[in-house]
Amino acid sequence: MIEIYNITNLKSLDELRIKVLGKKGVLTNEFAKLKDLNEDERKKVAKELNELRDEFSEKLNLKKEILEKKEQEQLLQKDKIDVTLFSKKVELGAIHPVNYTLDRIVEYFVNMNFSIHTGPLIEDDFHNFEALNLPNYHPARDMQDTFYFKDSNLLRTHTSPVQIRTMLKQKPPIRMISPGAVFRRDFDLTHTPMFHQVEALVVEEGDKVSFANLKYILENFLTYMFGDVKVRFRPSFFPFTEPSAEVDISCIFCNGDGCRVCSHTGWLEVLGCGLVDENVFKAVGYKNVSGYAFGLGVERFAMLIHKISDLRSLFESDLRLLEQFK
C-alpha cells in the first residue's frame, strides 16, 4: 500500500496495479488459495482479502487522478505560448481598385443571369474587326490604334470579339458578359496601352429585344455602381450597333452642377451601347434575331468610384497609392 505513495508516474502506477491485481498478481494469488481453506477460515480470509482489494483499488484510483492532473499540467506548461510576445508584423494586402471594380461589375451581371465568356488576347482581323462590321476599308478602323503582329494577328482592341466567338459557338438566346484586358497604342492621363473592358451581349429570337430593355438594364446597373445618379443616352455611332448611343451619368463629383472633372457639363460619359447591327448577325449566320450590346472601360469606372485622376497610377504598383485601398 505504501508503494502507491512513492509512485510518480502513470506508467509505474499501472505496473503496480498489474503486480497486485493482474492475472498473476499478489492478491489474485491469495484469492486462488482460498479454495484450500476450510469453510470458516475461507469466509474470514475472503472478507479480509476483499477489504484489502477495495482499499487498494480506491487508493489506486485516487493516485491515478492526481497523476493524470499532474501530467496534464506539465503538458500545458511545455506547450505554453506567450501571447503577449511581439511577433513579426504581417502586412495585409488590399484588393487593387481595378479588380474591386471589375468584381462589382461582374457581380451585378451574374446576379442578372448573364454568363461570363472569355476570349483570346491575341485576336485575328475577322473577330476583332471584320465580323463587327468594320471591313478593311472602313474609316471607323481609324478610331482604334492597334498593335499588329507580323502575321495578320493583333492584340485585341476591345472585348467585342468575344461576342462574335460566342455567337459562332451557340444559338440564341444569349445573355453574356465578357470581361478582360484590351490593348491600344495610347498613353496619357486617361489612356494606358493595356486596360480592361466588359462587353455585354443579349440576343433573342425574333424581335423580342428592344432599346427599352437596354435602357432598363443600363439605368439599373449604373445606379448599382454609382448610387443615385441621373442617366442619359446620347445618339452616337458604333459600326457594330444601330442605333447606337453613348451613356452619361450626372457628375458624381459636383452632383451635376458642373466642375473640372466633368468639364463643367455636369455629365460624365461612362459607356457605349446600341442594338446589334444586322451586319454583325449576318457575319455569324444568325437570322431573325434581335439583340443589344454595350461595352465599358473598367479603369474609367474605377477612377470615378475611387476618385483617381491619373489612370497611369493604377499600373505603377506604387504602394503609397495601393495602401489607400485597404
Which residues, numbered 145-164, are part of the site for ligand DAH (CB under 6 A)?
Answer: 158, 160
Cell matching residue 23: 492475472
Residue 175: φ, ψ to 5°:
-145, 90
Q: Which of residues 276-315 bind ligand DAH (CB under 6 A)?
A: 293-295
Judge residue 53's burial from the number of C-beta atoms within 10 Å of its C-beta, 0-12 exposed, 13-18 middle, 19 or more buried.
middle
Q: Which is nearer to ligand DAH, 101 or 160 (CB)?
A: 160
**Closer residue to ligand DAH (CB): 176 or 251:** 176
Site for ligand DAH in 180-199 (CB under 6 A): 199
**What is the secondary structure of 141-159 as a DSSP string?**
GGGS---B-SSS-EE-SSS
Stretch that binds ligand DAH, among 112-120, 272-280, 298-306, 312-320 (CB under 6 A): 272-280
C-beta of 237: minimal distance to ligand DAH in Å? 10
Distances (CA, A) of 6 to 18, 33, 60, 67: 16, 29, 12, 12
User: Which parts of 231-250 interact with ligand DAH (CB under 6 A)?
Assistant: 238, 241
The answer to whether 244 touches 127, Cβ cutoff 8 Å, is no
Amino acid at 317: S
Examine residue 133 and tell whether it contacts ligand DAH (CB under 6 A): no
Mark the segment that binds ligand DAH (CB under 6 A) among 91-99, 202-210, 261-269, 270-278.
Answer: 270-278
**Of the two residues 180 and 272, which places its CB atom closer to ligand DAH in the complex?**
272
Closest CA to 143 of 109, 186, 103, 111: 186
Least distance to ligand DAH, CB of residue 294, Å:
5
Within 13-42, which residues bind ligand DAH (CB under 6 A)? none
Interacting residues with ligand DAH (CB under 6 A): 158, 160, 199, 238, 241, 272-274, 293-295
